[in-house]
């Protein structure tokens, strides 16, 4: 049994208290240090005191006033509880519980705060991995439903067609590039003059008339298609939508406004920006798809180069495809480097390209 | 550890002269030294000025800085065989108290920045007030100073310091901010002043600190905050007077310009 030490405060003693040793003898508490005195255990009143609420006080009335022993250190407190007579031990355990509560509440509060901060940091840091994880758990049917919902949104703004030579050409080239895919692709040509193309979840690919009008050959169109197909295959668009929806959900919780979610998601549909890594992945995989399909891989780089020179010439009027697919010089260099490493028995696509361009919906020249 | 031989000089703007026995060392806040005998060796160390490990000293330094002290400590050592003097001056109008730490159980809780010096080996740490209401409304904040060790600690607080002993269960109402130091066995909490009328018109604010014994507390008559407010108030009043004069002159100038403009 370890020694129980405490401080005795009595009217006759120095005000700061006198160090004493405590010991239970049956129902008596023996206090040694400032002489020896015995106190009946059942007259003791237990309370928790001190600056930190971590000291046990045993107080009793005697003659000239209140006397008290205070026990500050945890070892002595445990020994005190262990050796006290049953009735007092119960009260002491209550006191120890209070001390633990006072100590524990701050640990809990600080722990909870730290956990929250770490969690937010982790989500922030790993947001791409998390959205990818979620995106891979969305079923094909759901994905298609999301894609079709987005398609109806786009149809309210532009006119889409699957008819005509242009759309047929797109579908044919796309078909060659997506042999063996788990998605059932649908190809649309819109009458939008903006030089752009985009992929919606579930295998819906929309090519703007402006892009076909600007492309120099069917190979260049194939390059763009190969790139967009990868966004579908790797569920990039879905990931970006989940990402945007996630932030919108956070925003909605903060602002308490559910309509904010819909507003933001609808807004995001129009201009989803894929991250640099996702674009790179789409480039590389798109190149491989071109090579597999036997289509010259140089088309992709050529298309981007054309757009870049266009941007330099026109000035501030950035083509839409560039604003969502930044065609930096290094990216073009990377594409050209890749096109040299890929082996392919490629033959240029044999379409009557001017005829395809002439069959575009709307007036885009 | 031996107690320091000391002599406090002055009434409200005090300094303490310590006589160092042969081989004895004291620590003081950097800048607190007023004078010392030629032979006293002066050294500046991180943390509490003791022989802890490098990282221990850095940790101690941060603890000190967190409680309103300096990151560094000045150590004054007497390496001669005769007694030497070193004196520390108080940084502001107020009183010093020399506390024998062993006599009060080895630990003293003080308000931030109270520690002035003491026996080498006395440590200054953080005493975090765990009661939310006492931390918010007690007038001393959440962070106070824990001075521990077995030697002498010299603390300083503005105003006059009153040492009050509380018996077990005895309780004292104290104006918030007036608590300078207390023994660890004293319970420190806040209480609502009691009546709406008193809380608005009583001038003591909404809360009072409550100190409950057993143990010793040291109270200060003029907390730094109040001293600062009254000095600031006085200087503001003066500048407001100057501003009034400026306004007066501005009025005259505008009047003159206006009159001149009215001339044909």
B43: β partners: B75
Task: Evaluate if residue B162 carries a pLDDT over 60.
Answer: yes
Q: How many C-beta atoms lie closer than 10 Å to residue B163's C-beta?
A: 13
Q: What is the pLDDT of residue B232?
A: 86
Rounded to the nearest 5°, which phi and psi values hold at B148?
A: -135, 160
Quick: pLDDT tens for A88-131. Answer: 888 899 888 888 888 888 889 899 999 999 998 988 888 778 88
SS3 B229: helix
Q: Does B186 touch chain A (CB under 8 A)?
A: yes
Query: How far is residue A223's CA from residue A335's CA, in Å, rounded to a whole number?
Result: 11
Q: What is the pLDDT of residues A261-291, one digit of tens each?
A: 566 665 555 555 667 778 888 888 888 888 8
Chain A residue closest in CA terms to B164: A15
Distance of alpha carbon A152 from alpha carbon B19, whole angstroms: 91
Tokens matching residue A277: 């890594």
- For residue B216, the chain A residue with the least C-alpha distance is A16
Rounded Cα gap, residues A312 and A327, in angstroms: 12
CA B172, CA B210: separation in Å to the nearest integer?
6
What pLDDT, on a 0 to 100 scale, did the predictor assign at position A258?
A: 60
Is residue A77 within 8 A of residue A56, CB to CB? The reply is yes
pLDDT digits (tens, 9 = 90+) for B214-232: 999 999 999 988 888 888 8
pLDDT band at A321 (very low <50, low <70, confident <90, very high): low
Whether residue B214 has a cis bond before it, omega within 30° of 0? yes
CA distance linking residue A62 with residue A10, whole number of Å: 10
Whether residue B113 has pLDDT greater than 50: yes
Give contacts of B215 with chain A, Cβ < 8 Å: 9, 15-17
Residue A293's Cβ-side half-sphere holds a number of Cα atoms within 13 Å equal to: 27
pLDDT score at A256: 64
Q: Output the pTM of the full model.
A: 0.65
Q: Give the per-residue pLDDT at A364.
A: 45
A30 within 8 A of A84, measured Cβ to Cβ: no
Q: What average pLDDT score do residues A23-30 get?
A: 90
Q: Which of B69, B189, B185 is nearest to B129 (CA)?
A: B189
pLDDT tens figures, B26-75: 999 999 999 999 999 999 988 888 888 888 888 888 888 888 888 999 99
In this complex, the residue of B165, B170, B187 whose CB is nearest that of residue A50 is: B187
Q: Which residues pair with A69 in a beta bridge?
A: A8, A58
Over residues A177-200, the mean pLDDT reads: 87
C-alpha to C-alpha distance for A154 and A204, rounded to whole angstroms? 12
Proportion of chain A above pLDDT 90, given as a percent: 18
Q: Which of A5, A11, A16, A64 to mutate to probe the B interface, most B CBs <10 Å?
A: A16
- Which pLDDT value is given to residue A254? 67
The pLDDT of residue A365 is above 50: no
Q: Which of A17, A59, A68 lies closest to B105 in CB terms?
A: A17
DSSP string, B193-204: -S-HHHHHHSSS
- Neighboring chain B residues of A53 at a CB cutoff of 8 Å: 130-131, 187
Average pLDDT over all residues of chain B? 88
Q: Which residues contact B227 (CB under 8 A, 6 or more apart)?
A: B92, B93, B158, B159
> Tokens standing for B264?
């044909």
């Amino acid at each position: 049994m370890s020694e129980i030490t405490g401080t005795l405060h009595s009217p006759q003693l120095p005000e700061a208290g006198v160090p004493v040793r405590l010991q239970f003898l049956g129902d008596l508490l023996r206090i040694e240090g400032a002489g020896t005195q015995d106190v009946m255990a059942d007259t003791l009143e237990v309370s928790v005191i001190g600056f930190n609420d971590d000291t046990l006080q045993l107080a009793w009335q005697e003659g000239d006033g209140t006397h008290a022993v205070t026990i500050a250190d945890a070892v002595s407190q445990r020994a005190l509880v262990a050796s006290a007579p049953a009735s007092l031990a119960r009260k002491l355990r209550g006191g120890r519980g209070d001390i633990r509560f006072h100590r524990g509440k701050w640990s809990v509060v600080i722990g909870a705060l730290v956990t929250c901060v770490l969690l937010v940091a982790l989500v922030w840091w790993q947001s791409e991995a998390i959205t990818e994880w979620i995106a891979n758990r969305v079923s094909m049917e759901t994905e298609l439903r999301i894609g079709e919902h987005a398609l109806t949104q786009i149809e309210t703004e532009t006119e889409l067609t699957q008819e005509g030579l242009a759309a047929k050409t797109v579908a044919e080239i796309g078909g060659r590039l997506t042999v063996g895919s788990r998605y059932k692709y649908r190809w649309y040509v819109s009458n939008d003059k903006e030089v752009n193309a985009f992929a919606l979840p579930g295998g819906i690919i929309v090519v703007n008339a402006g892009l076909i009008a600007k492309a120099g050959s069917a190979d260049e169109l194939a390059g763009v298609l190969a790139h967009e197909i990868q966004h579908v295959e790797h569920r990039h668009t879905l990931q970006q939508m989940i990402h945007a929806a996630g932030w919108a959900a956070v925003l909605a919780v903060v602002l308490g406004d559910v309509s904010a979610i819909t507003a933001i998601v609808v807004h995001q549909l129009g201009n989803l920006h894929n991250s640099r890594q996702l674009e790179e992945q789409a480039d590389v995989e798109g190149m491989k798809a071109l090579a597999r399909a036997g289509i010259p891989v140089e088309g992709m780089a050529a298309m981007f180069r054309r757009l870049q020179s266009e941007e330099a010439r026109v000035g501030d009027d950035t083509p839409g495809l560039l604003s969502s697919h930044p065609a930096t010089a290094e990216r073009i260099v990377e594409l050209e480097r890749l096109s040299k490493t890929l082996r392919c028995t490629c033959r240029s696509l044999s379409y009557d390209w001017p005829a395809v361009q002439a069959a575009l919906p709307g007036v885009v020249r | 550890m031996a107690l320091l031989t000391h002599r406090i000089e002055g009434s409200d703007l005090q300094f303490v002269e310590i006589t160092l026995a042969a081989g004895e060392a004291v620590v003081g806040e950097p800048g607190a030294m007023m004078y010392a005998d030629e032979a006293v060796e002066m050294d500046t160390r991180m943390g509490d000025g003791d022989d802890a490990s490098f990282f221990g000293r850095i940790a101690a330094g941060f603890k000190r800085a967190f409680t309103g002290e300096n990151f560094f400590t000045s150590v004054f050592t007497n390496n001669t065989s005769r007694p030497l003097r070193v004196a520390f001056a108080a940084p502001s109008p107020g009183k010093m108290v020399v506390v024998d730490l062993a006599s009060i159980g080895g630990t003293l809780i003080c308000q931030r920045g109270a520690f002035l010096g003491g026996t080498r080996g006395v440590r200054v740490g953080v005493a975090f007030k765990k009661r939310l209401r006492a931390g918010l409304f007690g007038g001393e904040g959440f962070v106070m100073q824990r001075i521990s060790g077995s030697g002498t600690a010299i603390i300083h607080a503005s105003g006059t310091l009153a040492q009050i002993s509380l018996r077990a269960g005895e309780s004292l109402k104290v104006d918030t901010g007036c608590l300078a130091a207390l023994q660890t066995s004293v319970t420190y909490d806040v209480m609502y002043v009691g009546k709406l009328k008193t809380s608005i018109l009583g001038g003591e604010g909404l809360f009072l600190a409550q100190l409950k014994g057993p143990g010793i507390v040291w109270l200060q008559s003029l907390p730094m905050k109040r001293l600062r407010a009254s000095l600031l108030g006085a200087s503001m009043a003066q500048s407001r007077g100057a501003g009034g004069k400026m306004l007066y002159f501005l009025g005259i100038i505008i009047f003159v310009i206006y009159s001149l403009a009215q001339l044909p």
